[in-house]
């Protein structure tokens, strides 16, 4: 039986991909802790523990799989993690990779997070393993997870001014990946920029969350210096802080508001609007 190795199966997209793939028997979930593995096994999913810093552990975890979904955690060593994962895939005999990257990524991108992701995309392409690269925009789910407490305080305080972002629901990224992992005919060696159906300012986001969740929330733009101070006081590591600042700067260049039809092209269904996401996750902000 053909099997899919999901690297980073406990993350946002990996978890949603497991939910989306209909046959749990074809999944091998790669996770970084025994606790996460046990939680997945309780759901009837085969889970194997691996370490992004240990190629041999990845080769062992990929054993018996012929396809891989690759998403790399946003940590300082992410390009090294990506390189080792691709090398492990070659050694393990993986025959096709779906790589989840980032919107606007390229190995020569002028912004840091785009360049880090683009370098991993380049490793995938250079491997000569057939691949498809998905480049999703910022996740809607960031508002229901990392930013939820901020929103519950009644204020979204970020340094993005009034520029638009075409946020995408993680469930749509997973749907694209699932479609490709089941049938990639015609999509091999392609790159797809994934977005939601509209560009939204953070004022739009605040208004929609307020309406759908029945809460009062306002967007208050802050200067970059205050944004950095907030990240530092929250204990965000310096490297991650620099990546987030680079992202906010790209948003303020007006580069993240474009809309593509790639989700519908890959899946046959249009991307979910932000209002649907907000209605589904309203409990996160109450």
241-249 long-range contacts (CB < 8 A, ≥24 apart) are: 242/112, 243/74, 243/112, 243/113, 243/116, 245/159, 246/111, 246/112, 246/113, 246/114, 247/111, 247/113, 247/138, 248/158, 248/159, 248/160, 248/224, 249/111, 249/224
pLDDT band, very low/low/confident/very high, at 236 (cuts 50, 70, 90): very high
163 and 254 Cβ atoms separated by less than 8 Å: yes
pLDDT band, very low/low/confident/very high, at 110 (cuts 50, 70, 90): confident
Q: Is the pLDDT of residue 148 over 90?
A: yes
| pLDDT value at residue 2 | 77
pLDDT band, very low/low/confident/very high, at 1 (cuts 50, 70, 90): low
pLDDT band, very low/low/confident/very high, at 146 (cuts 50, 70, 90): very high
Rounded to an integer, the average pLDDT of 110-122 is 94
Q: Is the pLDDT of residue 49 over 90?
A: yes
- Model confidence over 4-13: pLDDT tens digits? 999 989 999 9
Rounded to an integer, the average pLDDT of 103-127 is 94
What domains does the chain contain, in order, with CATH numbers?
A: 4-138+169-194+258-271 (3.40.50.720)
């Amino acid at each position: 039986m053909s099997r899919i190795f999901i690297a980073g199966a406990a993350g946002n997209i990996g978890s949603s991909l497991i939910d989306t793939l209909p046959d749990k028997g074809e999944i091998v979930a790669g996770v970084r802790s025994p606790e996460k593995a046990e939680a997945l096994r309780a759901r009837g999913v085969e889970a194997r523990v691996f370490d992004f810093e240990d190629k041999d552990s990845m080769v062992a975890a990929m054993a018996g799989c012929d396809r891989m979904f690759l998403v790399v955690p946003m940590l300082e060593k992410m390009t090294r993690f990506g390189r080792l994962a691709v090398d492990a895939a070659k050694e393990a005999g993986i025959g096709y990779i779906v790589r989840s990257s980032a919107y606007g990524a390229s190995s020569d991108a002028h912004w840091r997070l785009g360049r880090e992701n683009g370098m991993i995309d380049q490793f995938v392409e250079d491997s000569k393993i057939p691949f498809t690269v998905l480049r999703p925009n910022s996740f809607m789910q960031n508002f229901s997870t990392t930013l939820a407490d901020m929103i519950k305080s009644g204020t979204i305080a970020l340094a993005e001014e009034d520029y638009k972002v075409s946020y995408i629901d993680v469930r749509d990224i997973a749907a694209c990946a699932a479609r490709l992992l089941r049938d990639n005919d015609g999509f091999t060696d392609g790159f797809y920029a994934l977005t939601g159906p509209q560009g939204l300012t953070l004022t739009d986001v605040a208004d929609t969350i307020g309406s759908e969740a029945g809460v009062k929330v306002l967007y208050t733009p802050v200067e970059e210096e205050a944004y950095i101070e907030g990240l530092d006081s929250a204990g965000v590591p310096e490297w991650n802080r620099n990546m987030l600042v680079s992202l906010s700067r790209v948003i303020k260049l007006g580069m993240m508001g474009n809309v593509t039809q790639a989700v519908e092209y890959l899946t046959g269904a249009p991307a979910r609007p932000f209002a649907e996401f907000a209605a589904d996750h309203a409990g996160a902000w109450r």
